[in-house]
Amino acid sequence: MRSVDFHIHLYPPEIIRDAESISRLEPYFDALTHNRVHKWATVEDLLARMERDDVERAVVGGFAFQDLGLCRICNDYIIDAVEKYPDKLSGLCLVPPLARGAEAEVFRCAEAGLLGVGELFPEGQNIDIADRDQTWRLAGILHEANLCVLWHTAEPVGHAYVGKGNVGPKEAAAFCMNHPEVKTIFAHLGGGLWLYELMPEMRLYLRNARYDLAALPWLYEPAVLRTIESAGVAHKFLMGTDFPILDSSRYERIFAASGAAPEVLERIARGNGLEFLASLGRNGRGVQY
Q: What is the torsional sign of CA 218, 249, 238, 258?
A: negative
Q: What is the torsional sign of CA 219, 179, 279, 283?
A: negative
CB of 29 to Zn ion, least distance (A): 13
DSSP per-residue letters across 11-57: --HHHHHTHHHHHHH-HHHHHHHSSTT-----HHHHHHHHHHHTEEE
- Which residue number, 8 or 234, has a Cβ lying nearer to Zn ion? 8
**Footprint on residues 121-180 left by Zn ion (CB under 5 A):** 152
CB of 153 to Zn ion, least distance (A): 8
For Zn ion (CB under 5 A), the number of binding residues is 2
- Which residue number, 87 or 160, has a Cβ lying nearer to Zn ion? 160
- Using Cβ positions, the residue closest to Zn ion within the complex turns out to be 152
CB of 154 to Zn ion, least distance (A): 8
CB of 240 to Zn ion, least distance (A): 9
- Which residue number, 152 or 179, has a Cβ lying nearer to Zn ion? 152
User: 259: which residues sit within 8 A by CB, 6+ positions away?
Assistant: 222, 223, 225, 226
Which 8-state DSSP code applies to residue 158? S
- Which residue number, 46 or 187, has a Cβ lying nearer to Zn ion? 187
CB of 119 to Zn ion, least distance (A): 5
**Footprint on residues 181-200 left by Zn ion (CB under 5 A):** 187
Residue 8 as a binder of Zn ion (CB under 5 A): the answer is no
Give the side-chain half-sphere CA count within 13 A for 76.
Answer: 9
Which 8-state DSSP code applies to residue 192? G
CB of 120 to Zn ion, least distance (A): 9
Q: Residue 186: which H helix or E strand, with range?
A: strand 183-186
CB of 278 to Zn ion, least distance (A): 24
Give the span between the Cα atoms of 43 and 40, in whole angstroms: 10
Helices 68-84 and 102-111 cross at an angle (nearest 10°) of 0
- Which residue number, 176 or 260, has a Cβ lying nearer to Zn ion? 176
- Which residue number, 152 or 226, has a Cβ lying nearer to Zn ion? 152
- Which residue number, 124 or 286, has a Cβ lying nearer to Zn ion? 124
CB 186 within 8 A of CB 151: yes
Beta strand 3-9 pairing with 183-186: unpaired
Give the span between the Cα atoms of 239 and 87, in whole angstroms: 18
Positions touching Zn ion (CB under 5 A) are 152, 187
